[in-house]
A and B are shown apart, each in its own frame.
Chain A
Amino acid sequence: MRLSVQEAPFDLGAESQAFAAGAAGAGAVVTFTGIVRDNGGALSAMEIEHYAGMTEKAIAAIMDEAAGRWALVDALVIHRFGRLAGGEMIMMVATAAPHRADAFAAAEFLMDYLKSRAPFWKKELGPEGAAWVAAKDADEAALLRW
């Protein structure tokens, strides 16, 4: 399992390829990629702040939890911080498992927990100023299904 919290962009194709190639024994690989929405041109940039140290610990704990719940061969989380433009990739999750049901479920679990339990905060910058993205009740509610 690998996690990377980084400012630099990542190469989705290269990461996905390397992850799948390294997942010996897997019969299924699921990847998810989060992209900065440009809100129909109303967003000039997104700034992502994080709590260095806690971020890595929180994501590692979420990945350990996923590994305990599903038969995962491997998992990968890459999450960026800093200033991103609309259309840029914010993060990716990849899971590998013997069968697809585990790979899909673990990827969704990782995403649900990354949303509300990994210490990142997004700020949207647009022509009318800057605003912190508010957490949604639905994001918190999404954790209850696990």
Chain B
Amino acid sequence: MSVEVLYFAWVRERIGLPRERVQTDAATVADLIAELVAREDRYAMAFADLASLRVALDQELASFDAPLAGVREVAFFPPMTGG
């Protein structure tokens, strides 16, 4: 399947992209992260500390063990600092 993967804040800066189309057979978010980390160092750097990352699936906050079936958009970002 193909998903749109978005990166924000320092995750975007470390990976060097705001978004990309990813072909993947990952079953869960954690599986997708493992595939990305295996690609290149910049991904490994961005995903080095999962405790400092959040994920949203189709614009809803989710957990790293959430399934990816049917998901169109995955976003990775640090904890939010609104207000």
Contact = CB atoms under 8 A, between A and B. Distances in A.
Given A49-B8, A51-B56, A132-B9, A121 B81 contact: yes
A121 B59 CA distance: 16
Interface string A86-122: 0000110000000000000000000100111111111
Interface residues of B, number: 16
A118 B59 CA distance: 11
A117 B9 contact: no
Contacts of B75: 51, 54, 119
Contacts of B6: 51
A123 B9 CA distance: 8
A135 B80 contact: yes
A131 B81 CA distance: 13
A129 interface: no
A51 B59 CA distance: 9
Contacts of B67: none
Interface of A: 34, 49, 51, 53-54, 57-58, 79, 90-91, 111, 114-123, 132-135, 140
